[in-house]
Structures are given as structure tokens and as C-alpha cells.
Structure 1
Amino acid sequence: MRSARPLMLPALLCCSLICVLTTRLSASEPELLSVEKIWDQGEHNAFTDIIRYKDRFFITFRESEDHVGGDGKIRVLVSEEGENWTSAALLEEEGVDLRDPKFSITPEGELMLSLGGSVYRGTKTLKSRQPRVSFSDDGFNWSEPEKILEEGDWLWRVTWHEGVGYGSSRIQVPNENGKGHTKIASLYKTTDGRNYEKILTWDIDGNPNETTLRFLPDGDMLAMIRRESADAMGWIGRSAPPYTDWKFTPTDYRFGGPNFIILPSGEMWAGSRHYPGGAKTGLFRMTPEKLDLVTLLPSGGDTSYPGFLWHNDILWMSYYASHEGKTSIYLAKFKLVD
């Protein structure tokens, strides 16, 4: 009769099992606490972002006559408690469609808005574009939008890390055969939000454009990149400092208005337009290599371009949608349940 012997698993297998179990146990599920329409006073209200600054909540977005065209204006809303929202500011520039506003806070403590600035020939035919920035020390009073980079650039969002702001700008370049154009995306850095230095141009096909950058605790930069041609699937990029050597991983999703947030726990949550079955705004669980759709927000039609905020253990998500008729601004709040 053989004596019972303890089952011995290879050390590597044990470690793998522990890692899998830890990942599963630490993954949270989002519980929707509320979703409310907070603004519909513009004819077309779209392209949102959210931030907390000097103990107030701010949400920004574009007001215009349609998704493209017209002289778009940038509305800034404010709330003391995140429930009742009022207008804090309206930024406008005659003859220019200001669009895609994005918040950030500079190393000097100023609230910064990065904006697209488009000029049209007629109603919707693009004539020129150049990004702008505007600054405020209270969220109510803003400097006149000033041009940055070069004509043709479209700087999507600026993210600050250790005193330096980083952003991706895309520009159209003529094809070698003289027919049509191709979009390329370049990575830039700034120390003041006004003057930018190119780090490199990414080697990405598929007409890359809208890109959000964030930073892991080890200093690595992640990029969530929209692509508009080839297979049109979004990519995730990763690079260690000085951010000149990139690895890109295709995802299983098309992106529209991509954004993501890295929580203090290390969890990552992303938002984008979700196309299958009709456009809706989706909330995705994210890793440095992939996205997984977790839930769809009440939305439809012209929708997406979310902003994210983590405050008091609640995930705040601003977005816009047209499922109730008029294109309006919404705010959702999630509790993450283990």
C-alpha cells in the first residue's frame, strides 16, 4: 500500500494560477448608479470632457448646428456637488468651428482647454484647421483661444506627466501618387501648453487620428488610437521613456472618441463609440493589450466622446447622445463592485 503524497505543482504553474485568480478577484464590475441628461440648450451638443478643479466639477463640450459645420462654440458647465449644472463660460471665435474640447491642469495649476479649430468653405467643406488652447485660473474666466502647432494639425488631447504635457496630433499629407491624402499621427511634448516639440511620427497605417494618452505607474505611456481605414480597428500603443520605441496591439473594436482612465487601484476603464447593431456609447474594461466591452450606456445615433473622472470612489462619465431626439449631454456615475 502506497502512502499518500502531497500533490506537487510546478512552481511556474502555481504562479500562473495565482496570477489568474488574483486578476479575476480584483476585477470590478460597474454598477450604474445614475445617468442624467444635464444639458440640451444648444442646437447640437457634443464632444465632452469632465474634470474636478478647485473643489468644483466642470464639464465641457461643443455647441453648434450639427456634428460638422457652423461656428462651433465651447460651453463650460460647473457644479458644486455634481448634481445641478449651470453655465460657467462660453468660448467662441468668429468664423471658426471650435470643437473637441479637452481639459487638463498644467504644472502651474492652470486649467487648460485644448481645442480643434476648423474653418469651412461654405457650410461643411473644410478649408483649414489649427488647434487652439485657452487657460483659466477659476474655470469661469478664460483667455482668448490661441493657435498652437501648425495649420493642418489636429491635437486631440494633452496629458501631463512629471511636468511635461504630451499629445498626439494628426495631419494629412499628399499621397506619393499625387492622388488623395493620408493621415499620419505624431507625438508631441510641451512644458507650457503653447509651444510643442515633436518626439516622433508613429508608423501606423489606417489613417490614425483621435488619440488619448495616459501613464502607468512605472512611467510607461499608453495610447488609445482611432484608425479610420484599412480594417479601421483601434490600436493600443505602449512605450517606455523617452517614448521613442513603440509597440502597437490591434484591438477587436473600432474607436470613436476614444478615452480611458487609470484608477489608483491600477484598473483601467475606457469609453468609445460602439458600432455593431447601431452606434452607442460603450464602457470597456481595458488592459495595456486589449479592451472588453462591459456595458452600453443609454445612447444612440450621434453619440460617444466620453470624459472620465474618478472621485470619492465613483467613476464619473460624461458623454453625448441622440437617442432621445436632440443631441444632448449626459452624465453617468458608476460604482465599481468587487
Structure 2
Amino acid sequence: MRLITTLAFLLLAALYAADTPPQVTVSSVRRIFHNGEHNAFTDLIRFRGQLYLCFRSCPDGHMVFNTASAIVMRSADDGATWTQVHRFSIKDRDTRDPHFLVFRDRLFVYTGTWWSGPGTIEPKDYDMNKMLGFATWSDDGTKWSEPELLEGTFGLYIWRAAASGEKAYLCGRRKPGYDIGPKGEGDKVQSLMLESDDGLIWKKRGYFAESAGDETAFLFEKDGSLLAIGRHGGRKNALIIRSRPPFTEWSRRSLDRQVGGPLVVKWGEHTLVGGRNTTKDRGPKTSLCWLVGDALQEFAELPSGGDNSYPGFVALSEKRALVSYYSSHEKDEAGRTITAIYLAELQIP
């Protein structure tokens, strides 16, 4: 009897330990890119044994400008040094929010683009119905294709991507029915789950959110089910979203905070969520959390402030990982605020 009790206790302890996320320390944070422009919206991935980082860079700032471009950098030494390998832009459009996807042995970079025309437009004239997704890709990380428009994305603002089996998936935002009206969509925006066989031609697969949709990061679990973290339009708390194939039924629950520019990834057997947390007393901060059940447990707040967040993640090992993000908490030698790209190293003791 005592042996059975002891074995039961050990089993419960092991299960508890497996479900309890580890402690994490931020061992270093350093600025890795600043060119005097507004640099923002990062993503990070491993492809063919090397690390790749992408982000938007624009001399005119955060808003919609046709001077924006996407930069892709590569590191062969686990993030110690970086070299630019690609930079592209889309004529008369703001090339924005680049994200990676490895699919069919290719490295894709997807970008959502706002129409701006040949000049500068006012925010009141931003039109969701003129949005269009583009992609560029490489088989080796060195030679890149010209940007190609993504069929099925006109009127959609595309965001993060993921792959499962022989399919690729994107988050896309749109007005219901491509409604024509003044800017100020708010709760009316839908966030769609788009599906593709080749990474270039897309169709609707389901809805992450049929109203108040926004940026949505998602990953596929080992059993094929889907977990997503959705920024909730209208400054509401973020959503945790779950579904199973064929993705016709969805569960959605509110988290305890807003999550701007969300990230959701696996690190070992645990789920990491990152993004901008708007604190009451210190303003917006780039935050990293473990997802435990349907709740967030924050383990790190990265040096950040003002315009910031949109993290990328890559695991270097079971105990080390890198997180890219952008922030505007530092100033240049003249005392002017800069918006730069940063890299944080995480360690599990």
C-alpha cells in the first residue's frame, strides 16, 4: 500500500512538473539595427541552419508611406552578427509587417501592404479595401524572387503565417463584405484564416474572429489542433482562440490584458506568448509570458517603451532562445527618439 501511494505521489509530481513552466532569465539585450529610419515589426526564423530576421524600415515613420521597405538579415553564428541579404518594397504601397514562413523547402517573406499612391495620404484616406498581400521567397536564403502579389488577398491585410501538413495558412483582416465607407472600422473588422496549397494562391478557411478582429498569431499543436492569440480590435483584452480540423468550430476566451503584435510559439513542451502589454503606470512594454491553461504568466518585461513590441522567436536549444523586437525607448546622440531593432537572449537556468 505504501509503495502504491509513493508511486502515485511521484506520478503526480512528475505531471505537475511537466505542466509548470520553467523560470527564465533575460541574459542579454542589445540593439542590433538602427539606420536612422523607423524600424519595426520583426520576425525571426531558422532556415537551412542559419537565422533570419525581417522587419520594416521607413524614413518617414510609423504610419502609411510608400517609402517603406522590408529588410531581411541573416546570421550564421546564432545571432552574434547579422548581414543584410535582401531588401524589397512595393510601388505605391507601404510595405509593412513582414513575416516568415518555411513551406515546401522555401523561405517565404509575406507582407501586408496599404495603398498609398505616388504621394503621402492622410490617415482618413487609408482604405482597407485597397490592401493587398505580397510575398518574396528564396530557396537558399541568398537569391530572392521579385515580390509577387498573392491571389485572393485583395482587400485583406495579411499578417502572421504557419504551416501544417501540405497546407500554408495566413491571418488576413478585412471589412465584412468589403463594405465601402469612411475609415473607423473598429469592431466591424474580421480576421480570417486563409489557406493555400502553394503559398501564393489563397482562400478563406475560417474565421479567427468574425468581429473586432485584429493581428492574430497561431500555431498548430502536435495533434493538428490550432491555438491562436488574437489582438482584439477596439483596445479590448486579447483573445485565446482554439479550434480543431476542419476548423469549423471555434472557442474564444478573453485574456487578462491587451497583446499588441502577438507571438505564440512552442519552446520545448511549453507555450510562449509575447507582445505589447499596455501597463497602467508605465505605458506600453514588450512582455513575454508562459501560457498555462488559458492564462498568461509573465516571466519577463524587455527594455522597451513608446512604439514597441512585435516580437519574433527562435530556440537555440532547450535552454537558450532569442527574441527580436523593436522599441523607441532610446535616444540618439542629439537627444532624438530612435525606433530600433533589439535582440534579447533568454536562458532557462
Same fold (TM over 0.5): yes
Structure 1 residues 113-165: Cα deviation after superposition (integer angstroms, max 9, x where no partner):
11011112634432431111111112232212222223220121110111211
Aligned match of 1:242: 246
* Superposed CA offset, 1:53-103 (max 9, x none): 122211100001211122210011111102111211111122211010001
Contact 1:68–1:124 at 8 Å: present in 2 too? no
- Which of 30, 50, 55 is 2:44 aligned to? 50
Match of 1:267 in 2: 270
User: Is it true that 1:114 corresponds to 2:106 in the alignment?
Assistant: no
Give the structure-1-normalised TM-score: 0.88
Counterpart in 1 of 2:190? 184
Q: 1:30 aligns with which of 24, 32, 36?
A: 24
Q: Which residue of 2 aligns with 1:279?
A: 284
Please tell me whether the aligned partners of residues 272 and 290 of structure 2 are also in contact (alpha carbons under 8 angstroms). yes
Specify the alignment match of 2:149 in structure 1. Answer: 147
Secondary structure of the structure 1 residue equivalent to 2:231: strand
- The answer to whether residue 157 in structure 2 is matched with residue 163 in structure 1 is no
Where structure 2 has 5 or more consecutive residues not aligned to the other structure, the ranges are: 332-337
In structure 2, how many angstroms separate the alpha carbons of the residues matched to 1:246 and 1:15? 36
1:105 matches 2:102: yes
Shift of 1:287: 3.5
SS across alignment from 2:310? strand
Which secondary structure state, in structure 2, belongs to the residue aligned with residue 22 of structure 1?
helix
Mapped to 1, the partners of 2:13 and 2:254 lie a distance apart of: 27
Whichever residue aligns with residue 328 of structure 1, its letter is A
Q: Provide the C-alpha distance between the structure 2 equivalents of 1:43 and 1:312, rounded to a whole number of angstroms.
A: 33
Q: Does 1:73 align with 2:69?
A: yes
**Shift of the alpha carbon at 1:27?**
1.9
Instruction: Check the 8 A contact 2:159/2:172 in 1, yes or no.
Output: yes
Q: Could you state the TM-score of these two structures normalised by the residue count of structure 2?
A: 0.85
Structure 1 gaps, min length 5 = none
8 Å Cα contact 1:186-1:200 kept in structure 2 = yes
What is the alpha-carbon distance in structure 2 between the residues aligned to residue 217 and residue 305 of structure 1?
25
Distance 1:248 1:299, change over 3 A: same
Q: Distance in 2 between matches of 1:156 and 1:132?
A: 11
Distance 2:90 2:16 in 1: 54
Asked if the contact 1:42–1:63 (Cα under 8 Å) also holds between the matched residues in 2, the reply is no
Question: Is the 2:21–2:290 contact (alpha carbons within 8 Å) kept by the matching residues of 1?
Answer: no
- What is the one-letter code of the residue matched to 1:192? D
Offset of residue 175 of structure 1: 10
Q: 1:142 corresponds to which letter in structure 2?
A: W
Number of the residue aligned with 1:318: 324
**Whole-angstrom CA distance in 2 between matches of 1:147 and 1:295:** 38
RMSD: 2.6
Q: Are 1:40 and 2:37 counterparts?
A: no
Task: Letter of the 2:251 partner, please give it.
Answer: K
Counterpart of 2:310?
305
- Work out which of the residue numbers 250, 272, 296 in structure 2 matches 1:291: 296
Share of identical aligned residues, percent? 30
Q: Is the alpha carbon distance of 1:287 and 1:217 closer, same or farther for their aligned partners in structure 2, counting shifts above 3 Å? A: farther
Q: Is the CA contact (8 Å cut-off) linking 1:208 and 1:228 kept in structure 2? A: yes
SS of the aligned residue for 1:233 comes to strand
Q: Which secondary structure state, in structure 2, belongs to the residue aligned with residue 165 of structure 1?
A: strand
Q: Secondary structure at the match of 1:209?
A: coil
